[in-house]
Structure 1
Amino acid sequence: MNILLVDDEPLELEQMEYLINKNFPMWDIYKAQDASQAMKIVSHSDIFLAFLDIQLPGKTGLELAKELKAVSDADIVMVTAYQSFEYAHTALRLGVVDYITKPVIEEDLVKVLNNYSQLTHYSHQIQQSIKLIHQNYEEKITLHFLATKIHINPAYLSRKFQEEVGVGFSEYVNNYRLMMAKKMLIDRPEASIGEVSEKCGFNSQHYFSQMFRKETGLSPRDFRLKETGH
């Protein structure tokens, strides 16, 4: 799997490269110190996951994230020294999948990377399917949509997904939506339960609450209270 690291501080790049190599030695790492270098790398390499520092010379990391989204299917994680909800909100609106704070702690980095560790064992078709789910979970995503995007038969994709991932397509989508809902409940305390439900792709707040309680044993509101204290 190809990882792109973008930071204008060489020591930060070296540290992240060291931590990734230490935990995932089979992954290939590309490094850039500004948006221009990053876009050149993306133009000739199939980047699966990009870590972008928010404070870059010239274009900011958020501006780079927007450009990357227009030309690449890469998942994006923002790296920021600012523990600010404002940056988090902007990043989430751009479709960024996660963010971590500086100085980067190994445990936090590995937690993000573990979401992708299993992907290396999947076939290319299933890797592409999962990437599309992660990028489109907010929408009404269907098996037919995925099959069309990767140019295979829907019935074949359904069977292959179950065989490789161990759960069906619909269950995987719901599980991922619930995972993102948990994150949003914590990261955006001002968002209503209805907003979280809609943003995470659920058809109704009632269905979202049912699924959430089944998964966690708590209502979304009680989960937020437990995790944030408010």
Structure 2
Amino acid sequence: MNILLIDDEHLEVEQLEYLISPHFPNWTIFKAYDASQALQIAKKIKIELIFLDIHMPGKSGLELAKDLKALYKTRIVMVTAYQSFEFAQKAIRIGVEDYLTKPIIEDDLMRVINKYDHWNSKDSTIQSALDIIHENYSEKLTVNDIAKKIFINPSYLSRKFLETQKIGLNEYLNRYRLEKVTQLLASEKEHSISEVAEKCGFNSQHYLSVAFKKKFGITPREYRLRSRLGMQHENS
């Protein structure tokens, strides 16, 4: 998994890296100190999670967040020294997932990071399997496919995955695909439910609907409608 830390203050970036690294040793951390550098990295490397300072010279953090979100679906945590309701509202409208204030307290940072703990494994082999899932979830993907890519026995991979992640590999893949479905339903108005199913690796719209309702208690169509109503309420 790739994380990008963006702040024009080098010390702030180093502190974030220092706090994150021990908890997630198999994640790759990239650093950027301005908008241009951040965009160059994000265009070359798929970034799953971004910590972005809201106040930077030139292009603001909010403007940069829009640009980063336009590249692909990524999660952004805004970081700022100022507690501003206006900034928080704007960040939510852009699709920012969370908000941290400086100086960053480790407990607050871990509260945010732990939301993505299921993306993480301290076992390097399992982290490789997770990374393959995160990169290829939209394709037909089996335990055998993943095991072949990391040169291990499929049975061993299944057993080891369950042991370390406390969830079966296929169940995890399905859960991750559903995460991606919720993102697309909320943000991509032009895609039909069938197109969302295909983009997220489901064999059919029917299979997606069954899996979605089992997990969330509502259909994908109902979820999309609620998301739109929520956004309209925020903008009113």
Q: Same fold (TM over 0.5)?
A: yes
- 1:56 pairs with one of 25, 35, 38: 35
**C-alpha distance after superposition, 1:118-173 (max 9, x if no partner):** 56654211111111111111111111121112111111111111222222211110
Matched residue type, 1:105: Y
Whole-angstrom distance in 1 between the partners of 2:65 and 2:42: 18
Q: Are the structure 2 counterparts of residues 127 and 218 from structure 1 closer, same or farther at C-alpha, using a change threshold of 3 Å? A: same
Question: 1:65 aligned to 2:42?
Answer: yes
Q: Is 1:81–2:62 an aligned residue pair?
A: yes
**CA deviation after TM superposition for structure 1 residue 64, in Å:** 2.3
Distance 1:75 1:132 in 2: 13
- Count of residue correspondences: 199
Work out whether residues 177 and 200 of structure 2, in 8 Å CA contact, stay in contact via their aligned partners in 1.
yes
**Pair 1:26-2:22 in alignment:** yes
Identify the residue that residue 58 of structure 2 maps to in structure 1: none
Distance, in Å, in 2 between the alignment partners of 1:163 and 1:200 is 26
Moved over 6 A (4+): 83-86
Structure 1 residue 208 displacement after superposition: 0.6
Letter in 2 for 1:174: N
The two structures have a TM-score, normalised by structure 1, of: 0.69
Whether the aligned pair in 1 keeps the contact of 2:4 and 2:49 (CA below 8 Å) is: no
Q: Map residues 5-154 of structure 1 onto 2, 5 A cutoff.
A: 5-7=5-7, 9-10=8-9, 14=12, 18=15, 24=20, 26-27=22-23, 48-50=28-30, 56-57=35-36, 61-69=38-46, 75-77=48-50, 79=52, 80-82=61-63, 88-92=69-73, 97-101=74-78, 103=80, 105-106=99-100, 113-117=113-117, 122-154=122-154
CA distance in 2, matches of 1:189, 1:110: 33
Report SS of the residue matched to 1:82.
helix
Q: Is the deviation greater in 154-163 or in 180-189?
A: 180-189
Contact 1:65 1:76 in 2 (8 A): no
| Cα root mean square deviation, aligned | 3.6
Alignment check: 8 A CA contact 2:3 2:48 kept:
no
User: In structure 2, do the counterparts of structure 1 residues 182 and 52 end up closer, same or farther at CA, with 3 Å as the change threshold?
Assistant: farther
Gaps of at least 5 residues in structure 2 are 53-60, 81-97, 102-107
Deviations 1:1-39 (A, max 9, x none): 9855244x117x61x6556756x572489xxxxxxxxxx
**Percent of aligned pairs with the same residue?**
36
